[in-house]
Amino acid sequence: AETGVTVSGYGRFGLEYLEGRAEETQIASRLRFNIDGKTETDSGVTFGGRLRLQSTDGGAASTNAALFYASYEGFRVEVGNVNTAFDSAGLIYNSEMGFQDSSYGDPQGAFFAYNSTGAVAPGAGIFASYSMGDFTGRISYVNPDQMTGASTDAEVGVSFDYASGPFAVSLAAYQDGAGVAGNDGFFLGAAYTINDAATVGLNYMDEDAAGGRVVTLYGNYTMGATTLRAYVADLDVAGADTAYGLGADYDLGGARLSGSVQQGYAGQTYADVGVRFDF
């Protein structure tokens, strides 16, 4: 029976450029500590809880609401400030790059996720996942108004990941995303690992709050300590530019130096370069 508290997290800092804002080039930073307490019972079930302390861009560190979980072998249930099925889908954020791990090819809709800062609706969320071999399935339910009995709708989400040799697929959906009635979303992603060095993938997202479906094609290529990253993303909205990004990571052996240049759907240029280290 393993019992105790562990603290882990990451730090990142560097320069961020965003075309058109008052100060286009800024120092950007984040320091995150996850504080985890857990108890493993004699029967092998682990009960745990997590809080996060996080400081972003010079702000005083914030706290967040607790996530609780029970896990047993491949099965895990969460209560409180839960992860959600859609946000946890494999492949869905795989086009991200730069020291801040961002991409215009990410989902553009509105849905609940684990909340890094501040309160959540009290006890609102429940999440369950099950992994067996190369398969993982997830389901989540987040009710934003448990205490009040108000009329907001609960978000329900599901996701499935499967891998077989070089192929990986991920499927996810949510209903009444972010507690808004009729705000549904769907995701289908596939990735193919060409060889030790190269991966390509295609993500398809159809979300009501995004204004149109997004298709993102991405690829990574590793040469020694360097990984090159690229993506092209199309948002099916009149007047939207094609978004794309080019990035590179340099592995420092425990940390990485990462940079990217990206263009968004409004044609704006974003670029970042900095360091990310995990502990």
Using CB under 8 A as the binding rule, whether residue 226 contacts its own copies is answered as no
Parallel, antiparallel or unpaired: strands 125-132 and 135-142:
antiparallel
Which of residues 72, 73, 122, 198 is near its own copies by CB under 8 A? 122
- Identity of the residue, 31 or 188, whose beta carbon is nearer to its own copies in the bound complex: 31
- Lookup: tokens for 247: 């990035």
Measured CA to CA, the distance from residue 42 to residue 1 in angstroms comes to: 6
Candidate list 71, 93, 101, 123; residue touching its own copies; CB under 8 A = 123
The residue among 181, 63, 69, 205 whose CA lies nearest residue 125 is 69
d(CA 247, CA 181): 37
By CB under 8 A, what part of segment 157-186 binds its own copies?
A: none
Of positions 147, 181, 237, 266, contacts its own copies by CB under 8 A: 147
Q: Is 128 in the site for its own copies (CB under 8 A)?
A: no
In order, the DSSP letters of 37-73 are EEEE-TTS-EEEEEEEEEEETTPPPB-B--EEEEEET
Choose which of 139, 215, 232, 275 interacts with its own copies (CB under 8 A). Answer: 275
**Count of residues binding its own copies (CB under 8 A)?**
70
Of 118, 166, 182, 267, the one binding its own copies (CB under 8 A) is 118
Nearer to its own copies, 120 or 214 (CB): 120
Q: Which is nearer to its own copies, 155 or 234 (CB)?
A: 155
Q: Please give the DSSP secondary-structure letter assigned to residue 240.
A: P
Choosing from 194, 197, 252, 266, the residue that interacts with its own copies (CB under 8 A) is: 252
Query: Residues 115, 130: contact at Cβ < 8 Å?
Result: no
Q: 186 CB contacts (<8 Å, ≥6 apart)? A: 172, 173, 205, 206, 207
Region near its own copies per CB under 8 A, out of 93-101, 119-127, 163-171, 238-246? 119-127
Question: Binding residues for its own copies, per CB under 8 A?
Answer: 1, 3-5, 7-11, 13, 22-23, 26-31, 33, 35, 37-43, 45, 47-51, 53, 55, 57-66, 68, 70, 79-81, 117-124, 146-149, 252-255, 275, 277-279
